[in-house]
Structure 1
Amino acid sequence: MAKPMTAVQVLAAMKLWDVPYKQWPGWTTRGRDPEHGPFSDVHGLVIHHTGSDIGQSDDYLDFLATRGKPGLPGPLCNAATDMDGDLWLIAQGRANHAGEGSSATLNHVINEDYAGFKTELKPGPDNIDGNAAYYGNEVRYDGGQPMTAKQYAAVTRWAAAICHFHGWSALSIIGHREHTGRKPDPGSCPMNKFRTDVAALLKAGPPKATKPPVTPSPPKEDDMPLNDADKKWISDEIQRYAFWTQIYDLMMVDEKAAAQEAYEQEYAARKAAGATDVVAKAAAASKAAAIVQPAIAAMLKAQKEI
């Protein structure tokens, strides 16, 4: 059992795992109406397929995100993966993707106690609402043949990113047909192989795992060596700016431009005044972070109030 990831956490995980993601407008606050059921605890991921190779348009993404269909309004997934390998973030909240399905399957997912690397699960009777328990990814292909190589790489890396965040193994991933006997999803994708491939990614670890920060040393030509307090300030400012730029994609275009301009101007001014490169970069990072941090904080506050 785990709390659903916030939009900021999703973005950080996508970047950490080098997922080729794009953001569909409004995804950070999109989810099913609360009166239709909570999205308070999640247990795993469901892989779907759209059943068509031609549904690669923006109009189809709008269908998945907002329009839905009669009796089944959007969002219809949390993410969607194109044949060219682009993975779209569609909804941060609960989505109408799994529907009714097997509690027996869910129990296996929760306990991670089945032979999922050798075979697929056979679902029991439909007796639970899967929308409340699973994240969902709609793979945009017809399912009659394997996914494209880029598509498969994107969706397995997305699954690894979510599992890594929650501390789950690849046994927390199922195909829609393992949730309910009503569905054939995700088509020509053996889920035992899919789980095996995700397990290999998890074992290798995230490709962009951060290394422990190293306090920068002043250049040799600096005739005024930095003391410990100076070094700590430099390290703190660079790390602070690095953290806020991890969620840079949430910002508006004007705010991004202002932060970048502040960084460049401060860096140039410090260098012109004779500062070493590392001191100039730290001062520039401090100026830019002063713009980035409140902008993101205000956005997150507004999101909570919606």
Structure 2
Amino acid sequence: MSTPMSAARFLQALRNEGLTVVTTPGWETRNRNHKGPWGPVHGVMVHATVTGPKVDGVRICRDGYEGLPGPLCHGVIRRDGSVHLVGYGRTNHAGSGDPDVLRAVINEKPLPADNEATTDGNRHFYGFECENLNDGKDPWTPAQLEAIEKAAAALCRVHGWDERPVIGHLEWQPGKSDPRGFTMPAMRDRVADRLGDKPKPAPKPTPTPKPYVPPVFPAGLAPGRTTPSARALQRVLKATGFMPKATPEADNYGPVTEASVNRFHAAHPQYRAAGKTYDPNIGPRGWAYLHRLAYGR
């Protein structure tokens, strides 16, 4: 048993499904509730207006006609796929139908053939009238079929129904033929596919890499000196191609290391001591740049 959602929730459900929804003034309280109960609701019924493209189906479904006062549904689905809300509550759309069909809808079971018209459908179904001549020749536009699928799925999603409570008028009341031009089993398959598409989780933000920070320039690092930091200098010179990789590492800042540093300065003279053409001495700025060349990202 499902309590009808509020008019505001109904509107939001349709928009959440990606539909273009147009509201007519006063739709939220336009209904036939004074003629009978509204709810519990068990499904969604699809109809055809039996009108051509030059007829204002929205006006007819809002106001009704002689012998059948409006509203004649909750929403009108136009050929362009827009959904126009004309009423909310009990509306004159389903009429009397088969109690066995209603039981199947409630239990989400396959529908039996409709052969009785003894059960109030206006009480138990949301209804959408879809603009079409219903002659089997008037084409259903892709936008309109998609809107039917979305509208039905939106309401099923709110109530926790699967696709089986979505039925056509012809499956409810003997003698009815709408909708004609597509099959309700095919539409239920579309609704099932849509309900099965779970919202995709938002992509995880790509972490911003931390900027590379070179190691602090070691005190005492200078040509001719023996210090463990000479090995670190040799490793970074190898990593950047300024020292042959086969050169053994040593604590001694000797001639091979000096020549390698000078090659670095020749390639990047901005780090060479001013006025020198040969500079074997690595300074703090050159040390930092060497490390960024080798290990920076």
* TM-score of the aligned structures, taking structure 2 as reference length: 0.64
- SS of the residue corresponding to residue 126 of structure 1 reads coil
2:171 pairs with 1:178: yes
1:236 is aligned to none
- SS of the residue corresponding to residue 123 of structure 1 reads coil
Shift >4 Å, 4+ stretches:
none
Which of the pair has the greater relative contact order for Cα pairs under 8 Å at 6+ separation?
A: 1
Q: Superposed, which structure 2 residues align to 1:181-196 within 5 Å?
A: 181-196=174-189
Aligned partner of 2:58 among 50, 55, 61 = 61
- Residue type matched to 2:113 in 1? K
Q: Per-residue deviation at 1:55? A: 5.0
2:39 is aligned to 40
Please give the alpha-carbon distance, in whole angstroms, between the structure 1 residues aligned to 2:52 and 2:193. Answer: 28
Deviations 1:49-105 (A, max 9, x none): 012223553xx3222112x12221100001111111111111121100010110010
| Count of aligned residue pairs for this structure pair | 202
RMSD over equivalenced CA pairs, Å: 2.0
Please give the alpha-carbon distance, in whole angstroms, between the structure 1 residues aligned to 2:182 and 2:12. Answer: 28
Q: Superposed, which structure 2 residues align to 1:131-280 within 5 Å?
A: 131-143=122-134, 144-145=136-137, 146-205=139-198
2:15 is aligned to 15
Please give the alpha-carbon distance, in whole angstroms, between the structure 1 residues aligned to 2:193 and 2:169. Answer: 22
Q: Per-residue deviation at 1:123? A: 0.5
- SS of the residue corresponding to residue 128 of structure 2 reads strand
Q: Which has the higher helix share?
A: 1
Distance 1:108 1:55, change over 3 A: farther
2:17 pairs with 1:28: no
2:85 pairs with 1:94: no
Please give the alpha-carbon distance, in whole angstroms, between the structure 1 residues aligned to 2:28 and 2:54. Answer: 23
Identity percentage over the alignment? Answer: 36
2:99 pairs with 1:106: no
- Residue type matched to 1:65 in 2? R
* TM-score of the aligned structures, taking structure 1 as reference length: 0.62
Please give the alpha-carbon distance, in whole angstroms, between the structure 2 residues aligned to 1:55 and 1:184. Answer: 22
Distance 1:21 1:151, change over 3 A: same
Please give the alpha-carbon distance, in whole angstroms, between the structure 2 residues aligned to 1:75 and 1:189. Answer: 25
Please give the alpha-carbon distance, in whole angstroms, between the structure 2 residues aligned to 1:13 and 1:210. Answer: 20
Q: Is the 8 A contact 1:103 1:124 kept in 2?
A: no
Q: Is the 8 A contact 2:33 2:89 kept in 1?
A: no
Q: Is the 8 A contact 1:56 1:82 kept in 2?
A: no
Please give the alpha-carbon distance, in whole angstroms, between the structure 2 residues aligned to 1:29 and 1:7. Answer: 8
Q: Is the 8 A contact 1:177 1:185 kept in 2?
A: yes
- Residue type matched to 2:126 in 1? Y
Structure 2 unpaired stretches of 5+? 206-297
Distance 1:77 1:176, change over 3 A: same
Structure 1 unpaired stretches of 5+? 215-306
Q: Is the 8 A contact 2:47 2:168 kept in 1?
A: yes
- Residue type matched to 2:161 in 1? W
